[in-house]
A and B are shown apart, each in its own frame.
Chain A
Amino acid sequence: MRHLTEQELVLHHYHDDESPAIEEHLASCEVCRAEYNSIRRVLALVDEMPVPERGESYGSQVWSRLRWRLGSRNQRRTWVYGLAAAAVLAIAFFTGQWWQAQRATSAVTVAAGDSSAARPAGAPASTPGVQDRILFVVVTDHLDSSERMLSQVVNSDATRGLDLTSERDRAAALVASNRIYRLTATQHGDDRLAMVLSDLEPVLLEIAHSDGKLSPAEATSLQKRIDSKGLLFKVRVISAQTSGHQVPAAQKGTTTL
């Protein structure tokens, strides 16, 4: 008859292995029963581990030290909402400016007739104006901020977990702007940018909605998701293209932005 191992007995004690076979074996085997009782006695002794007493007033003492470190929840919420609102307003303004510029360019193109024959092969359909450049700057800033955040996650030591407490509010603001840029890119047929922003959004959301401290497992999982999509590389490439103002060839999916 095979006796139970020490590990099986420990697992059984903590109800992590409730196989009926173990129960039956313990009932019939005196050796294993003695071993099991020995484990139980040691663990009962561990319950004697001393923990310094804290009196009834301990909670009040904790509060008196803590209260000065707490900001007002309302103040914090107002600050976050204010930041998000400012971001949305700025984006809406620049998007409107850009849209106006697109319409003006189209009107000029229509008025001048079809000039595509005179345009060199591979040249953009329209020359971006000042407003376009403003939008490029805004999108580039957005991509740079996102890239820095992704780099921080990817380059961290996941085995030690990851503290994203200070990044959550920034990630929330980036999510808001990311949605608007993604929609704008989709509307203007820039599928490439839209796709990168679409891949970026869930990662930003995860950071924004995290409880601040990621466990090593959570940090590793996040790093893997970023790596598996080659997200950091894509963001760097598209950021370099927009900052270098390299407007891709006038073909479907790579028009403006």
Chain B
Amino acid sequence: MEMTDAATVSRARGGDSDAFRLLVEQHSRPIFRVAYRMTGNEHDADDVVQETFLRAYKQLDRFEERANFGTWLHRIAVNCALDLLRARGRLDRHYGGDPEEAEMTGAASSDPQQDRLLLSSELRQQVAAAMEQLSGNERTAFVLRHFEGMPVEEIGKTLGIQVNAAKHTIFRAVRKLRQSLEPFVRSSTCDI
């Protein structure tokens, strides 16, 4: 996979637009996931994906062939998402808010299997709501550590804060999530 990426990047560098198209097609979905987790908004995430590939295209000459293209692309996506969050001043925050789904969650059901699905759906809504309680830095640091597995040192660099501050930001995020979600964990331990 990495060899394929390296060869494709090499061709794209030489001006082969078909090669760059292959990279876009291969990496768009994972980039969308990280963008969505960071922005919490589908349209913003789509914009971040576009911007990520645009920047990557302009910076292809700076990509070191020994590096992992996917990791490099993720780093660009994180920066794009951060720029967008800064530009928005975190005004547009709505995590996973599909009103129709929320409405369905409240509907009564007599089917145990359906109840279980609805409970699962409700839990996801609660998780989305809990994520919404996090500040921009907390959400970013948490997403990068929890979902992206980024080392704390790199998170610190990305956010422009010290390593200890990055650790503390992640800790604050986890504490807030616990406060919001612990009741649901207790009531549905068997579901997890």
Cβ-closest chain A residue relative to B57? A70
Cβ-closest chain A residue relative to B123? A48
B103 at the interface (CB under 8 A from A): no
User: What residues of B have a CB within 8 angstroms of the CB of A44 in the complex?
Assistant: 192
Contact with A along B115-157 (1 / 0, CB 8 A): 0000010011101101100000000000001100000100011
Closest Cβ of chain B to A54, distance in Å, is: 5
Closest Cβ of chain B to A122, distance in Å, is: 50
In the assembly, what is the distance between CA of A219 and CA of B79, in Å? Answer: 14
Contact across chains for A46 and B128 when beta carbons are under 8 A apart: no
In the assembly, what is the distance between CA of A211 and CA of B175, in Å? Answer: 35
Closest Cβ of chain A to B155, distance in Å, is: 10
Contact across chains for B127 and A10 when beta carbons are under 8 A apart: no
A86 at the interface (CB under 8 A from B): no
Contact across chains for A11 and B167 when beta carbons are under 8 A apart: yes
In the assembly, what is the distance between CA of A45 and CA of B187, in Å? Answer: 12
User: What residues of B have a CB within 8 angstroms of the CB of A76 in the complex?
Assistant: 58
Q: Which residue from A50, A160, A215, A217 sits with its C-beta under 8 Å from B79? A: A215
Contact A43/B146 with A6-B175, A66-B50, A67-B17 known, Cβ cut-off 8 Å = yes
Contact A42/B177 with A59-B24, A161-B83 known, Cβ cut-off 8 Å = yes
Cβ-closest chain B residue relative to A61? B28
Total residues of chain B contacting the partner, CB 8 A:
66
Contact across chains for A38 and B182 when beta carbons are under 8 A apart: yes
A69 at the interface (CB under 8 A from B): yes
Contact across chains for A46 and B160 when beta carbons are under 8 A apart: no
A212 at the interface (CB under 8 A from B): yes
Contact across chains for B171 and A11 when beta carbons are under 8 A apart: yes
Question: Which B36-65 residues have a C-beta within 8 angstroms of A?
Answer: 36-37, 42, 49-50, 53-55, 57-60, 62
A79 at the interface (CB under 8 A from B): no
Contact across chains for B53 and A66 when beta carbons are under 8 A apart: yes
Closest Cβ of chain B to A60, distance in Å, is: 6
Cβ-closest chain B residue relative to A70? B57
Question: Which A48-83 residues have a C-beta within 8 angstroms of B?
Answer: 48-52, 54, 58-60, 62-63, 65-67, 69-70, 72-74, 76
Contact across chains for A216 and B175 when beta carbons are under 8 A apart: no
B26 at the interface (CB under 8 A from A): yes
In the assembly, what is the distance between CA of A168 and CA of B37, in Å? Answer: 31
In the assembly, what is the distance between CA of A49 and CA of B130, in Å? Answer: 10
Contact across chains for A16 and B152 when beta carbons are under 8 A apart: yes
In the assembly, what is the distance between CA of A54 and CA of B58, in Å? Answer: 25
Contact with A along B12-45 (1 / 0, CB 8 A): 1111010011001111110011001100001000
Contact across chains for A50 and B83 when beta carbons are under 8 A apart: no
Closest Cβ of chain B to A126, distance in Å, is: 45
Q: Which residue from A51, A69, A160 sits with its C-beta under 8 Å from B36? A: A51
Contact across chains for B50 and A62 when beta carbons are under 8 A apart: yes
User: What residues of A have a CB within 8 angstroms of the CB of B82 in the complex?
Assistant: 161
Which A positions have Cβ atoms within 8 angstroms of B? 6-7, 10-11, 14, 16, 38-39, 41-46, 48-52, 54, 58-60, 62-63, 65-67, 69-70, 72-74, 76, 158-161, 163, 165, 209, 211-213, 215-217, 219-220
Which B positions have Cβ atoms within 8 angstroms of A? 12-15, 17, 20-21, 24-29, 32-33, 36-37, 42, 49-50, 53-55, 57-60, 62, 76, 79, 82-83, 86, 95-96, 120, 123-125, 127-128, 130-131, 145-146, 152, 156-161, 167-168, 170-171, 174-175, 177-178, 181-182, 184-185, 189, 192
Chosen A-B contacts, 18 in total, with CB atoms closer than 8 Å, are A11-B171, A14-B170, A38-B185, A42-B178, A42-B181, A42-B182, A43-B146, A48-B123, A49-B131, A50-B124, A54-B29, A63-B28, A70-B17, A73-B60, A209-B62, A216-B159, A217-B156, A217-B160
